[in-house]
Amino acid sequence: MDTKDHIAVILVAAGRGTRMGGALPKQWQPLGGRAVLAQTVAAFRAAGLSRLILVIHPDDAGHAAPLGLPCVHGGATRAGSVRAALDALSADPPALVLIHDGARPLVTPALIDRVVGALAQGAAAAPALPVTDALWRGTGGRVTGTAPREGLFRAQTPQGFHFDAILAAHRAQRADAADDVEIARAAGLDVTIVEGEEENLKLTHPADFARAEAILARRQEQGMDIRTGNGFDVHRFGPEAADGTACQLCGVAVPHDRPLDGHSDADVGMHALTDALYGALAEGDIGQHFPPTDPQWKGAESAIFLRHAVGLARRRGFRIAHADVTLICERPRIGPHTIAMRTALAEIMGLETGRVSVKATTSERLGFTGREEGIAALATATLVKA
């Protein structure tokens, strides 16, 4: 199954960006209709990563609040800022961590996946591009010499590490460093170079914004592949349960005297949503990917199926723009649980809760749902080429 729950992302955005100019630090200036850092967050979510932590300046808490992500305050140096985030994550440590400049909003899922893939073979990996231009030394506006370019690379982020290794490296070196690769190498870690991307630029000067706007506009024009899929599922109620067994609906245990009956956990809402994603991709339905005749899926959590569909979408280059689920039943009452359901689905899919809708209706006592024989669910998912 495709899941990235074991990866955390640190977005370093505590700087003041004085070279950029303007009333706001560069990470909070608008780019493509939203703040630079919001674009960066969206890029990592499009890659299937949901555990993100921001490193911000204490004065920027108001700017960061709409992103809905945990924040730590940056230190006096870049290394101190990253160390603060690593310390915060250490209470519930991930297996891997990606450390990224918040002012690099054009990073792609493909680049992120290359870094993550390299971590399967080593403790550290980072993207870079070989230097291809001639290198000069100069002073006073005059060329004073040349330097060989062989073996030189332009470093980029995200830089990826096994969490325990980079945490130990940061705690061992208290001085500042140009980046986390420098700290990793000082601790004796081998760092694998993966191919970077020219468009993964760091916004530093005003001209960089114009270039970034053009790149975003081109990507939008080229990537206007929008898919919509629908899903429908039904599960009957099983026999009355004396032990208070609840119905599993959209990832939430809803109290009811009769659980839903099915081969898996019978989460009818999650099944419909999973089929909606498969439908948008023209990839069949749950039964094709997880046959009910296969005993390994007996009693399985439906989150397994949904994560598979989400991972498949992302591998195909799509991001999930919106998901909508409607539960149809007389009982149990769904309304008091919709917020928890939206939260649960959003977490599984790596989305903001504002992109997930869950609602309910009755069938006015008509049909099998009206006779309280079971629950039906409709779902629609919208995918956009990332």
Task: State the distance between the two ends of the chain, measured CA to CA, in whole angstroms.
Answer: 21
In eight-state DSSP terms, residue 258 is: S
* Domain hosting residue 235, numbered range: 226-385
pLDDT at 386: 62
Same domain assignment for residues 142 and 163: yes
Q: How many domains does the chain have?
A: 2
Same domain assignment for residues 180 and 230: no
pLDDT at 339: 95
Stated pTM of the model: 0.62
pLDDT tens across 237-246, in order? Answer: 888 765 666 8
Same domain assignment for residues 260 and 175: no
Q: Is residue 1 part of a domain?
A: no
Helix H or strand E encompassing 117? helix 109-118
pLDDT tens across 269-318, in order? Answer: 999 999 999 999 999 999 899 988 888 888 788 999 999 999 999 888 88
Same domain assignment for residues 110 and 13: yes
Same domain assignment for residues 58 and 95: yes
Which amino acid appears at position 79 of this protein? Answer: A
Of 222, 248, 273, the residue at which a domain comes to its end is 222
Of 165, 195, 222, the residue at which a domain comes to its end is 222
Same domain assignment for residues 250 and 214: no
Q: Is residue 107 part of a domain?
A: yes
**Cβ–Cβ < 8 Å for 39, 105:** yes
Same domain assignment for residues 215 and 231: no
pLDDT band at 29 (very low <50, low <70, confident <90, very high): very high
Per-residue burial over 319-355, b = 16 or more CB atoms within 10 Å of its CB, e = otherwise:
bbeebbbbbbbeebebeebbebbbbbbbbbbbbbeeb
Render 309-378 in DSSP notation, one character per residue: HHHHHHHTTEEEEEEEEEEE-SSS--GGGHHHHHHHHHHHHT--GGGEEEEEE--TT-HHHHTTSEEEEE
Q: Is residue 2 part of a domain?
A: no
Q: In this structure, what CATH number is given to the domain that contains residue 354?
A: 3.30.1330.50
| For residues 45-54, average pLDDT | 92
| For residues 219-229, average pLDDT | 80
Highest mean pLDDT among 3-17, 183-197, 235-249, 309-323: 183-197
Same domain assignment for residues 134 and 234: no
User: Rounded CA gap, 158 and 109, in Å?
Assistant: 11
pLDDT at 1: 37
More confident residue, 255 or 106: 106
Of 170, 201, 222, the residue at which a domain comes to its end is 222
Q: In this structure, what CATH number is given to the domain that contains residue 195?
A: 3.90.550.10
According to DSSP, the β-strands at 124-130 and 153-155 are antiparallel
pLDDT at 224: 65
